[in-house]
Amino acid sequence: MALKEIVEQTVAGLGYDLVETERSAAGLLRITIDLPWTPQAEGAGAEQFVTVEDCEKVTRQLLFALEVDGVEYKRLEVSSPGIDRPLRHEKDFERFVGREIDVTLKAPIGAAAAGQVSATRKKFRGTLERTQVEGGALGWQIVWSDAPVGKPGQKISKKRLPAPVQALGFALDELREARLAPIVSFKGRGTKPDSETNLD
């Protein structure tokens, strides 16, 4: 059985989602897990996080499963996705609608779509939103403003015009990479994303 299949079956069998499997040349096998998400769980309270105990449980089971299948590696590391969690599947995007994300496109946006944005630009940070595309189907867009970031205590002139809000629609197959923006809030875990300080 292939490595990814072994890991997926083991992780799913314990009730977790597999986010990423990485192998390094030095023999490190890094597995990233997350708690499963369903749209119904959204309103159930504060978001839950993977704990050290969760990682230990998955590590013990993987050590056994990998030994049985004769998979060679030097070190196994199981961890949570962290604050810059990668977004790979449609379900990941649905889960994090309304959150700040970093997106890297496979190709520049091109002169036709550029407008106020450089035609060679590939990287964007903004709020992930659902949008309707031609034919009534649902698609994805990222919304941002290129306003300069104010420094703590800095006074901003009321006469200064706000930077325009911009949006870029995209399909998942146009992305090279998408991740949650690593924005740290010191307001506590119960804080909702729309009340967090926006650093962009």
**Total-model pTM:** 0.73
pLDDT digits (tens, 9 = 90+) for 5-16: 999 999 999 999
Residue-level pLDDT at 35: 92
β-strands 100-105, 175-180: how paired? antiparallel
Residue extents of the structural domains in the chain: 3-79, 90-148+162-185
Residue-level pLDDT at 195: 44
β-strands 17-23, 123-132: how paired? unpaired
Residue-level pLDDT at 198: 45
Strand, coil or helix: what is 18? strand
Q: Are 142 and 129 in contact (CB under 8 A)?
A: yes
Distance CA 141, CA 94 (A): 12
Distance CA 180, CA 100 (A): 6
Q: CB within 8 A of 172, min separation 6: which ones?
A: 90, 93, 140
Rounded (10°) angle between helices 3-13 and 52-68: 140
| Surface-to-core class of residue 123, CB atoms within 10 Å of its CB (0-12 exposed, 13-18 middle, 19+ buried) | exposed
* DSSP state for residue 95 in the 8-state scheme: H
- Residue range 90-148+162-185 forms a domain whose CATH class is mainly beta
Distance CA 145, CA 178 (A): 18
Domain 3-79 has CATH 3.30.300: yes
Question: Which stretches of the chain score pLDDT less than 70?
Answer: 1, 40-47, 110-116, 147-151, 156, 160-163, 185-200
Q: Are 27 and 73 in contact (CB under 8 A)?
A: yes
Q: Give the torsion sign (CA, 60, 63, 65, 68).
A: negative
Residue-level pLDDT at 194: 47
